[in-house]
Chain A
Amino acid sequence: MTQDTHDRRTVLECMVWAGTGLLWTIAGGVPQSSLLGIGEANAQAATGFNFLQISDSHIGFKQAANPNPLGTLQEAVGKVGTLTTRPAFMIHTGDISHLSRPAEFDDAEKIISSAKLDVHYVPGEHDIVDEGRGADYMNRFGKKLQAQGTGWYSFDHAGVHFVGLVNVADLKAGGMGSLGAAQLAWLADDLKSKSSSTPLVIFAHIPLWTVNADWGWGTDDATQALDLVKRFGSVTVLNGHIHQIMQKVEGAVTFHTARSTAFPQPAPGTAPSPGPLKVPDDKLRSVLGITSIAVRQGTQPLAVIDGTLA
């Protein structure tokens, strides 16, 4: 598909594919080689914009599944400069660091900032295990983002409303991810003034749908958040945490999880636990990656395209 033959109908087809799980076909069939690993959504630049999702960089991880996550983060960020359509900004869906150590955050920020894009972060559970239980994250990232509570906030870009949520704090025994009453109340208030035709992008670390309860891959009170977005015509939910691509469409809501830039995790039910998955060294980059999201005007689903580091 070239830009010339790229009429409105083909754009819609691409988006429908992206929205129904056939994304795999696109991701596999898109000319990734010519795009250095990041499949770019076929952009209609005049009416929309692209942004990137990066996730689970786990700087500080040292185990066999990837002894050099800083190197692979560098490779991922290095691809940003090669894109033909410059992304408007980047979101990072958490687990920036492995153990919330200052040096890990420093290293991650140094590389991520080299993309010269605004970065909208949300914390993963690995980013709030400092003594202050997330105080360092808030000082480094939350303040800049004018975040509230444990790090939630919203912003608008070109008519799209973005909401960054935190579902990794104050977790309860036996539970999964949790948003908590205070954040849900804030979300209700935040969305109140938005018209139903406003496209919404909601991002958080742990999936906001239950991918696998046994492994804690879900958010206990996600339903309450999703009830609040029911009246909206286009909702895209972007998560990380599970280090692999999963997608689900439910009405107007498209759920999508991104790959990690550090190491893969097993598919549900294929391993005794969700711990890091060691793959042969020459396969590692094919299971790491970042995600490019193209936003069109209107209430159509966003085109979500995953690219690997291979």
Chain B
Amino acid sequence: MIDRRSLCAAGAILTLVLLSQQARADEAAVKIDNFTFIPETITVKPGTVVKWTNEDDIPHSIVGTDGKIHSKAIDTNEDFSFTFSEPGTYNYFCGLHPHMKGKIIVAP
């Protein structure tokens, strides 16, 4: 039988774990260089903020194939961030140069 005190302790530990996960797991970076998303595929935890930074001398954009993501044009040295809350596979491409493709896999 679980007593009140240990239940309380377990709750506290769980809260701590969740907090620390939130503090650490939430950012991932994708670089855009030479008309390529680097890395082309990344796997992240739900709730992660993915930040794309454009290192090319020409603007690019992030467009999800499902239509949910549609960034503005990201000019040289600018960035764009999107929070991936739901698990799933998100294919995307550049709206200006659609041969540029990338993928974000969101898995718990």
Q: What residues of B have a CB within 8 angstroms of the CB of A233 in the complex?
A: none
Chain B residues proximal to chain A, CB less than 8 Å:
34-36, 56-59, 61, 63, 65, 72-73, 75-76, 91-93, 95-99, 101
Produce 1/0 per residue, A116-137, CB < 8 A to B: 0000000001100101000000
Task: Report the minimal beta-carbon distance from A219 to chain B, rounded to whole angstroms.
Answer: 12
Produce 1/0 per residue, A227-243, CB < 8 A to B: 00000000000000000
B34 touches A100 (CB 8 A): no
Q: What residues of A have a CB within 8 angstroms of the CB of B96 in the complex?
A: 125-126, 129, 171
A273 touches B59 (CB 8 A): no
Q: What residues of B have a CB within 8 angstroms of the CB of A176 in the complex?
A: 98-99
Given A173-B65, A173-B98, A216-B99, check contact A65 B73 (CB 8 Å): no
Given contacts A125-B97, A173-B91, A216-B99, 4 further A-B contacts (CB under 8 A): A98-B59, A131-B72, A171-B98, A215-B99
A65 touches B59 (CB 8 A): no
A148 at the binding interface (Cβ < 8 Å): no
A87 at the binding interface (Cβ < 8 Å): no
Task: Report the minimal beta-carbon distance from A285 to chain B, rounded to whole angstroms.
Answer: 19
- Show 20 A/B contacts (Cβ-Cβ < 8 Å), sorted by A: A63-B57, A64-B57, A98-B59, A99-B59, A125-B95, A126-B96, A129-B95, A171-B93, A171-B96, A173-B65, A173-B91, A174-B93, A174-B99, A175-B99, A176-B98, A215-B99, A216-B97, A216-B99, A274-B35, A275-B57
Given A129-B96, A173-B101, check contact A276 B57 (CB 8 Å): yes
Given A99-B73, A100-B73, A275-B35, check contact A171 B59 (CB 8 Å): no
Nearest 5 A-B pairs (CB), nearest first?
A273-B34, A129-B73, A173-B93, A216-B99, A171-B98
Chain A residues proximal to chain B, CB less than 8 Å:
62-65, 98-100, 125-126, 129, 131, 171-176, 213-216, 272-276
A129 touches B57 (CB 8 A): no
Given A129-B96, A174-B98, A176-B98, check contact A272 B73 (CB 8 Å): no
Q: What residues of A have a CB within 8 angstroms of the CB of B56 in the complex?
A: 273, 275
Please, which residue of chain A has its CB at the minimum distance from the CB of B64?
A: A173
Task: Report the minimal beta-carbon distance from B71 to chain A, rounded to whole angstroms.
Answer: 10
Alpha-carbon gap, A171 to B95, bound state (A): 7
Q: What residues of A have a CB within 8 angstroms of the CB of B95 in the complex?
A: 125, 129, 171
Task: Report the minimal beta-carbon distance from A266 to chain B, rounded to whole angstroms.
Answer: 11
Other-chain contact of B75, A65, A99, A215 (Cβ < 8 Å): A99
Please, which residue of chain A has its CB at the minimum distance from the CB of B99?
A: A216
Alpha-carbon gap, A65 to B91, bound state (A): 32
Other-chain contact of A275, B58, B63, B91, B99 (Cβ < 8 Å): B58
Q: What residues of B have a CB within 8 angstroms of the CB of A100 in the complex?
A: 73
Q: What residues of B have a CB within 8 angstroms of the CB of A274 in the complex?
A: 35
Residue among A64, A125, A276 with the highest chain B CB neighbour number at 10 A = A125
